[in-house]
Amino acid sequence: MSEAPHGAPIKTPGQLIAAVVAGFAVPIVIIILLAYYVDNTTRTGAGTDELSAQQITERIAPIAKVSIRDANAPRVYKTGEQVYQAVCSACHASGAAGAPKFGNAGDWAPRIAQGYDTLWHTALAGKGAMPARGGTSPDDYSDYEIGLAVAYMANHGGANFQDPPKPAPGVANGASGAAAAAPASGADANAAQATAAAAAIAAIPQTGAPAGGAAGGSADASQAGKALYTQVCQACHAAGVLGAPKFGDKADWAPRLKDPMDTIYNYALHGKGQMPAKGGSNASDADVKAAVDYMVSAVK
């Protein structure tokens, strides 16, 4: 009787080792396969279809988005068409709330008749159901960009307006800004004059309001007006650069003074032709008006 009792399957040390190894290895392989199986299935939210990568990105995106702008970077302006698409088309594409419809010459003709400057001013200030700046803030779109959108819309409604003059680069750019500043659009304008004016604008201090600029007595106001004129406006108005009415020249001013003072203030505040809004400065409205008063009083 050489057989082991009860017919035990493990008869040699080699078989014992094999059994021990298999005892460990088989469960490990099963666990690995299970883990792989579990991980490989796509889990979906209850009751939803499978999420695409884009949907997931949207879901996990932070709620508040912060966009950081470099204050010193040269500002990149949107085109009139871009501003129109982003903002104005909300009402002007369909003519909602009585807005003059884009491309509808009948809607636009009576508005165009008011002239570009009035339309630009209306777009900035608002009118009836038209919110000021189309409901945007000056941080979103500058006066200049709103002006481009006005020209873009009006020109598609039958007008032939020029784009407003591009604002001067910030004085932070200093002399290099002056050198880099391209003359506005100058299809017909004298290029040399335009370059001189661009340099003059770049040199305009942006610190604005001289002391006493606030609503003080009239003596204060005229002081502030004279100071702003000397700092800013004379860059063009002293010599009549770009066709600016010359300081103290009655013949230059007479046709302009036929407009009501409010209109003249508005031109100075919001720009007109080659005249940049506020002369390219960031002075307060009150100081700009005071500077207009100062210039006007010199030709009365």
268 binds ligand HEC (CB under 6 A): yes
Q: Is 130 in the site for ligand HEC (CB under 6 A)?
A: yes
Residue 266 in contact with ligand HEC, rule: CB under 6 A:
no
Residues 6+ apart with CB under 8 A from 242: 189, 193, 194, 197, 236, 274, 275
| Interaction residues for ligand HEC, span 25-54 (CB under 6 A) | none
Does 170 contact ligand HEC by CB under 6 A? Answer: no
Q: Determine the Cα–Cα distance for residues 184 and 165; give it in Å rounded to an integer.
A: 6
Q: How many residues of this chain bind ligand HEC (CB under 6 A)? A: 57
Is there binding between residue 156 and ligand HEC (CB under 6 A)?
A: no
Site pattern 201..240 for ligand HEC (x: CB under 6 A): x--------------------------x---xx-xxx---
In the complex, the smallest distance separating the C-beta of residue 131 from ligand HEC, rounded to whole angstroms, is 5
Q: What angle do CA 162, 165, 171 make, to 5 degrees?
A: 170
Among 241, 246, 247, 277, binds ligand HEC (CB under 6 A): 241
Choice between 14 and 110, CB closer to ligand HEC:
110
277 near ligand HEC, judged by CB under 6 A: no
Residue 176: exposed, middle, or buried by beta-carbon count in 10 A (0-12, 13-18, 19+)?
A: exposed
Which of 156, 256, 286, 298 lies at the binding interface for ligand HEC (CB under 6 A)?
A: 256
The answer to whether 146 contacts ligand HEC (rule: CB under 6 A) is: yes
Sequence-separated (6 or more) residues with CB below 8 Å from residue 272 = 117
Rounded CA separation 8/214 (Å) = 108
CB 182 within 8 A of CB 111: no
Alpha carbon 284 to its chain's center? 21
Match 């995106």 to its residue by tokens. 61
In the structure encoding, which two tokens stand for residue 55, read together? 């949907």
Report the alpha-carbon distance of residue 278 to residue 260 in Å, rounded. Answer: 18
- Report the residue from 122, 142, 195, 222 that binds ligand HEC according to the rule CB under 6 A: 122
Q: Which two tokens stand for residue 54?
A: 């884009």
Q: Which one, 51 or 140, has the nearer CB to ligand HEC?
A: 140
Phi, psi of 298 (to 5 degrees): -75, -10
Q: Measured between alpha carbons, how far is 247 from 236 in angstroms, rounded to an integer?
A: 9
51-59, 67-75, 182-190, 273-281 -> range binding ligand HEC (CB under 6 A): 273-281
Of 34 and 179, nearer to ligand HEC (C-beta) is 179
Q: Counting contacts by CB under 6 A, is residue 164 touching ligand HEC?
A: no
Torsion of CA 242, 247, 250, 256, to 10 degrees: 60
Among 197, 202, 227, 277, binds ligand HEC (CB under 6 A): 197
Chain residues 55-114 in contact with ligand HEC, contact rule CB under 6 A: 83, 87-88, 90-92, 97-100, 111, 114
Site residues for ligand HEC per CB under 6 A? 83, 87-88, 90-92, 97-100, 111, 114, 119, 122-123, 127-131, 133-135, 146, 149-150, 197, 200-201, 228, 232-233, 235-237, 241-245, 256, 259, 264, 267-268, 272-276, 278-281, 288, 291-292
